[in-house]
A and B are shown apart, each in its own frame.
Chain A
Amino acid sequence: MSDVSLVVNGRKVSGTVEDRTLLVHFLRENLELTGTHVGCDTSQCGACVVHVDGKAVKSCTMLAVQASGSEVTTIEGLANGADLHPVQVAFKENHGLQCGFCTPGMIMTTVDMITRHPEGLDETTVRHELEGNICRCTGYHNIVKSVLAASKTMAKGSKGKAKKAA
């Protein structure tokens, strides 16, 4: 067993976990942050993407103990209170989700992607960058549209300031 202590969505948390506990299981089971999902066993599907120290990470690929001392943001921590993050707004406005299972991972990946591409995004880049996130419902058409729309909003709106919920 190991002790872990980290900051999740701005809140200090700690716990004692089995050494083999993955970050995703720590988030889901110990912290009851069930928005982060597990869709595969091989770090392929991306349903579990969270931000660790500002970078997109598949939380099924990291042990909870490895994340100790880090700052983690999950889908639950993305909106600013009632104000949705521009990426969340874009997914809703562009019908970028259907069953919703891959959505938290898609949104967290998108926020990271847009941050890494301040110059803006085109369709080819978006499709390439989404390689690590699988969606079975949307055929990606409206996800790509959502990412491009969010990228434009964030470029305009004073570097990603949260927008009033749709």
Chain B
Amino acid sequence: MGVEGIGARVARKEDRRFITGAGRYVDDMVVPGMKHAAFVRSPYAHADIKKIDVKAAEAMPGVIGVLTGKQLKGDGIGNLICGWMIHSKDGSPMKMGAWSPLAVDRVRYVGDAVAIVVAETKGQARDAAEAVEVVYKEKKAVTDAVQALKKGAPQLHPEAENNLIFDWEIGDAKATDEAIAKAAHVTKVHIVNNRLIPNAMEPRAALGHYNKAEDHYTCWTTSQNPHVARLVMSAFYNVAPENKLRVIAPDVGGGFGSKIYIYPEEIVCLWASKRTGVPVKWVADRTESFLTDAHGRDHVSEVQLALDKNNKVIGLKVDTIANLGAYMSLFSSSVPTYLYATLLSGQYDIPAIHANVRTVYTNTAPVDAYRGAGRPEACYLIERTMETAARELGMSPAEFRRINFITQFPHQTPVIMNYDTGDFGASLNAAMKEADYAGFPKRREAAKKRGKLRGIGFSCYIEACGIAPSKAVGSLGAGVGLWESAEVRVNAVGTIEVLTGSHSHGQGHETTFAQLVNQRLGVPIDSVSIVHGDTDKVQMGMGTYGSRSGAVGMSAISKALDKVEAKAKKIAAHLMEADEADIVIENGELKVAGTDKSLPWFQVALASYTAHNLPDGMEPGLKETAFYDPSNFTFPAGCYICEVEIDPDTGVTEIVQFVAADDFGNIINPMIVEGQVHGGVAQGIGQALLEGCRYDADSGQLVTASYMDYTMPRADDLPSFKVSTSNTPCPGNPLGMKGCGEAGAIGSPPAVMNAITDAIGDNDLTMPATPLKVWASLKAMTRH
């Protein structure tokens, strides 16, 4: 391992601009003539729009234009789409209700955009937005998915009878029912996965600029995948043809999934720029983010786990209802289906699995992928169920898991996934050792003497990353391929630019991607620039989500580097009159193996561009492009152990230790990987203890729409984490990487809840386990 190569703990190259205040986020962008936008949003969860009167607003100081959905539709701007087709088990396609970027005759959730006001200043735009008179006729609203399915519930879209979007299944129902029928024991659990609001610290923003002279559009946007944004805005929303639309995602302040989707605001800002003739910038305030960023999770499931007389799992039956909100967001349909139910086998050898999933419209913000996307829901379900089963059987939760682990690879689960490699026992052992599991009874006893309740909980998670083989996801309904692209440009002086379709919004790509180049070519990382986030600079790419930038994005770079290396070796062999097969690249030099002949890297690069002495027929230059399409998903896995201490007088839970033992395959920069785990675990602990999105059931108002009401994890809610890895390299990609971006958020919630339920003895406790809930549960149990 070199000091800057693969495996090195290199400090991040990108940090200097962030720690000096020189980062450039969308809200920092200023374009000459730029004006500011505010959206008029529905204050009702469900209402018909009877009339919109913009006259008073238009007359307000500084107002340049007020535009509504009617004008938008008149200009041919399309409806928002969901890009992953799911069919119900009866063969019918999912029921996609119309979602206009600006609502025309009906609003379906609080925050639904109705009009845009463009003015000289942000303050003037907001003042005028309040003067837009919208006459609504309020309708009954429904925010809970189970209620929305019931007869007589308010109906959101004429296309979707009973608000049902699809009724989908996976696995073998008959075999699973048979397993339950013959089981020695069946564990039944009711699982609620609480709705979350992603809360990247940078609010969403868009700056649309139509250049009339060139008939060309530029959109600066807070996106995790600017190329997908360009494609979708061109192909489906008719904003502009792809060749006349440039999308730039500069520094982006966190995403966690919420910045994958193309939202109404960027479409409307681009359109409004053409309509008004000025560049239009919109920046969400935090309450707008709470109201309109795609939310996450929100599942309710009934689970049956069948066990034989030897305590081996023989079947798993799951019935899930998933809330998708008022409209189908871009990838919303894939989350509770192929990103969820395909992981229900967990780390266990389960011969029969069947899952049924119903997705439902409600008068709430659209729900889509949030850090983990379907996999946290699967992991929470299986790990809460396994823990419950172990308790019912009177077995140690570790041993019960161990006897059910998959130990042979590759392993084909009954729900599509083929696990390529792993060592689940190794992670379990590592976590138990680090947590001093053997010493827990003593610690529990000591806590009891102090009047505290102590509990410990496991979570053995597996997830699927590196999304995904294009052919496979295409056959499952995806509207896009999920490969990645890379271009490696070697300059004449030997410095290098890597252009990538991945997008960094905190992941540190400018460092890790440069480390890969250093490993391969020996060029110092300071001589390697990573270029991303601009559709005019980078060839088509698919972006960053699903922990895919390493396994897929870096694999594309690796493939491009193969080609660069091959050409450089040919040139070096020619210049040194050696056999191409004898050329090796070491420490920034091309050497003839077994001799003292060598050429520094920059000389070969220079030779490629002077082209004075190249092999016959070779094209000048040293620049290569590659597209990498993965052959399989990757399967990060691990074991998390959480230990809590609860004050029975207040219900306050303190996390006294949190251990994460992960298997991420090969690691480029351990410091960055640990940081990803820390952040993911914090979000998972947030879900388990603090965060819960709440809509008022009658009015449909979001009551958790600010940091005063939605509890974000703060520094004093969390401990320092004990993080380690024991890795089995992934056989499916050239770098052996699995991905680490979401593991923490996937694995941690069940560990926390298993610990709390262990401490208090109430297995029905739901997330977030707030002090009030824990205290009430303890009180209720004392009464009975």
Interface residues of A, Cβ cutoff 8 Å to B: 18, 20, 28, 32-42, 44-45, 47, 74-76, 78-79, 84, 88, 91-93, 95, 97-104, 107, 123, 126-128, 130-131, 133-145, 165-166
The reply to whether B675 and A138 contact each other, CB–CB distance below 8 Å, is yes
Output the least CB separation between B433 and chain A (Å): 21
- Beyond A133-B715, A138-B679, 7 additional contacts (C-beta under 8 Å) are A37-B201, A75-B19, A97-B18, A98-B254, A99-B200, A100-B253, A123-B720
From A20, A34, A95, A103, B28 is in contact (CB under 8 Å) with: A34
| Chain A residues within an 8 Å CB radius of B251 | 99-100
* Cβ B708 vs Cβ A99 within 8 A: no
B718 in the interface, Cβ–Cβ < 8 Å? yes
Q: Does B437 contact A (CB under 8 A)?
A: no
User: Which residues of B are found within 8 Å of A44, using beta-carbon distances?
Assistant: 706-708, 712
Cα A107 to Cα B20 in complex, Å, equals: 10
Known contacts A35-B23, A44-B707, A138-B675: A97-B203 contact under CB 8 Å:
no
Pairs across A and B, CB under 8 Å, 13 listed: A32-B30, A34-B21, A37-B202, A37-B253, A100-B17, A101-B200, A102-B253, A123-B720, A131-B716, A134-B707, A138-B679, A139-B718, A143-B715
CB-based closest 10 A-B pairs? A35-B21, A101-B253, A100-B18, A139-B682, A99-B506, A75-B21, A44-B707, A98-B506, A139-B678, A130-B715
Chain B residues 705-739 with CB under 8 Å of chain A are: 706-708, 712-716, 718, 720-721
User: Which of B15, B30, B200, B716 contacts A128 (CB under 8 A)?
Assistant: B716
Task: Tell me whether A97 and B15 are in contact (CB under 8 A).
Answer: yes
Name the contact of B715 in the complex, choosing from A18, A76, A79, A131 (C-beta under 8 A). Answer: A131
Interface residues of B in 684-707 (CB under 8 A from A): 706-707
Q: Which of B22, B285, B712, B715 contacts A136 (CB under 8 A)?
A: B712
User: B715–A140 contact, CB under 8 A?
Assistant: yes
Q: What string of 1s and 0s marks CB contacts (under 8 Å) between B239-252 and chain A? A: 00000000000011
| Known A97-B18, A104-B21, A139-B679; contact A41-B286, beta-carbon cutoff 8 A | yes
Contact A47 B201 (CB under 8 A): yes
Verify A39–B20 contact, CB threshold 8 A.
no
Q: Which residues of B contact A34 (CB under 8 A)?
A: 21, 24-25, 27-28
Q: Is the CB of B706 within 8 A of A41?
A: yes
Contacts of A95 in B (CB 8 A): 11-12, 671-672, 674-675
Of A33, A45, A126, chain B has the most CB atoms within 10 Å of the CB of A45
CA distance A136 to B679 in the complex (A): 7
Contact check, B708 vs A39: say whether CB atoms are below 8 A apart. Answer: no
B162 contacts the other chain (CB 8 A): no
Determine the distance from Cα of A32 to Cα of B507 in the docked complex, in whole angstroms. Answer: 27
CB of A92 within 8 A of CB of B15, answer yes
Q: How far is the CA of A140 from the CA of B203 in the complex (A)?
A: 20
Most A Cβ at <10 Å: residue of B121, B202, B251, B744: B202
Assess whether A97 is in contact with B19, with CB atoms less than 8 Å apart: yes
Tell me whether chain A's interface is mostly helix, strand or loop, or mixed. loop
Q: How far is the CA of A163 from the CA of B714 in the complex (A)?
A: 30
**Interface presence of B343 (CB below 8 A):** no
Whole-angstrom distance between the alpha carbons of A66 and B284 in the complex? 26
Given A37-B25, A93-B11, A97-B18, residue A142 in contact with residue B202 (CB < 8 A): no
Chain B CB count within 10 A is highest, among A35, A123, A140, A166, for: A140
Q: Taking the nearest CB of chain B, how far is it from the CB of A38, in angstroms?
A: 7
Q: Does B287 contact A (CB under 8 A)?
A: yes
Question: Chain B residues with Cβ under 8 A from A18's Cβ?
Answer: 121, 123
* Nearest-neighbor residue (CB-CB) of B721 within chain A: A141
B interface, size bucket: 35 or more
B705 CB, nearest partner CB in chain A, Å: 10
Q: Chain A: which residue is nearest B505 at the CB level?
A: A99
CB contact under 8 A between A140 and B718, given known A37-B202, A95-B12, A98-B506: yes
**Quick check: A136 and B200 within 8 Å, CB to CB?**
yes
Closest to A79 in B: B20
Q: Measured between C-beta atoms, what is the minimum distance from A51 to chain B in Å? A: 13
Secondary structure at the B interface, as helix, strand, loop or mixed, is loop
Residues of chain B within 8 A (CB-CB) of A103 are: 18-19, 23
Of the listed residues B18, B121, B707, the one surrounded by the most CB atoms of chain A closer than 10 A to its CB is: B18
> Which of the residues B203, B680, B716 comes within 8 Å of A39, measured between beta carbons?
B203
- Decide yes or no: A142 and B253 within 8 Å by CB, A37-B202, A98-B508 being known contacts: no
With A84-B20, A136-B201, A139-B681 in contact, do A42 and B707 touch (Cβ < 8 Å)?
yes
Instruction: Report the minimum CB–CB distance from A84 to chain B (whole Å).
Output: 7
Known A-B contacts A42-B708, A99-B201, A134-B707; the reply to A127 vs B716 at CB < 8 A is: yes
A143 shortest CB reach to chain B, Å? 7
Contact of A75 with B25 at beta-carbon distance under 8 Å, contacts A95-B12, A98-B507, A144-B715 already known = no
Q: Residue B163 at the A interface, CB < 8 A?
A: no
Contacts of A38 in B (CB 8 A): 27, 203, 283
Chain A residues near B715 (CB, 8 Å)? 126-128, 130-131, 133, 140, 143-144
Taking CB as reference atom, which chain B residue is nearest A98? B506
Contacts of B679 in A (CB 8 A): 98, 136-139
Verify if B784 is at the interface (C-beta below 8 Å from A): no
With a cutoff of 8 Å between Cβ atoms, the chain A residues found around residue B683 in the complex are 136, 139
Contact status of A40 and B707, CB under 8 A, knowing A91-B15, A98-B675, A136-B199: yes
Q: Once the chains bind, are A92 and B21 in contact (CB under 8 Å)?
A: no
Contact B254 A137 (CB under 8 A): yes
Closest to B714 in A: A131
CA distance A32 to B28 in the complex (A): 8
B99 in the interface, Cβ–Cβ < 8 Å? Answer: no
Chain A, residue nearest B682 (CB) = A139
In the complex, are the beta carbons of A92 and B201 less than 8 A apart? no
- A79 to B16 CA separation, bound complex (whole angstroms): 11
- A101 touches which of B201, B256, B286, B720 (Cβ 8 Å): B201
A138-B678 CB under 8 A given contacts A35-B20, A39-B202 = yes
The answer to whether A92 touches B11 (Cβ under 8 A) is: yes
B200 touching A20, Cβ below 8 Å: no
Contact (A99, B202) CB under 8 Å given A130-B716, A139-B721, A142-B675 = yes
Known A101-B202, A134-B712; contact A92-B252, beta-carbon cutoff 8 A: no
Separation in Å of the A131 CB from the closest CB of chain B?
Answer: 6
A57 to B707, CA, bound (A): 18
Question: How long is the Cα–Cα vector from A48 to B256 in the complex, in angstroms?
Answer: 22
A99 vs B250: C-alpha distance in the bound complex, in angstroms?
Answer: 12
Q: Give the docked Cα–Cα distance between A139 and B121 (Å).
A: 36
Inside 8 A of B123's CB, which chain A residues have their CB?
18, 20
Q: Which of B12, B283, B714, B718 has the most CB of A within 10 A?
A: B714
With the chains together, A11 CA to B22 CA distance in Å?
18
Q: How far is the CA of A105 from the CA of B154 in the complex (A)?
A: 45
Q: Look across to chain A and name the residue whose beta carbon is closest to the beta carbon of B121.
A: A18
Which residues on the B side are within 8 Å of A78 (C-beta)? Answer: 20
For residue B368, give the distance in angstroms from its CB to the closest CB of chain A: 17
Give chain B nearest CB distance to A80 CB in angstroms.
12
Q: Which residue of chain A is the closest to B200 with respect to CB atoms?
A: A136
Which of A76, A123, A145 is B21 in contact with, Cβ under 8 Å? A76
Contact call B21/A101, Cβ cutoff below 8 A? no
A103 to B251, CA, bound (A): 13
Closest A-chain residue to B19, C-beta based? A88
A100 to B707, Cβ gap below 8 A?
no
CA gap between A101 and B121 in the complex, in Å: 24
A41 close to B11 (CB less than 8 A): no
Shortest Cβ distance from residue B22 to the other chain A in the assembled complex, whole angstroms = 7
CB contacts (< 8 Å) of A140 on chain B: these are: 678, 682, 713-715, 718
Asked whether A136 and B27 contact (CB < 8 A) given A39-B286, A127-B716, the answer is no
Q: Provide the residues of chain B in CB contact with A79, threshold 8 Å.
A: 20
**In whole Å, how far is A85's beta carbon from the nearest beta carbon of chain B?**
9
* A36–B21 alpha-carbon span in the complex (Å): 7
A107 to B25 alpha-carbon distance, docked (Å): 18
Q: Which B residues lie within 8 Å of A45 (CB)?
A: 201, 286, 707
Residues of A within 8 A of B23 (CB): 35, 100-101, 103
Complex Cα spacing A51 to B20, Å:
15
Q: Among the listed B286, B678, B681, which residue makes an inter-chain contact with A40, where contact means beta carbons less than 8 Å apart?
A: B286
A76 to B672, CA, bound (A): 25
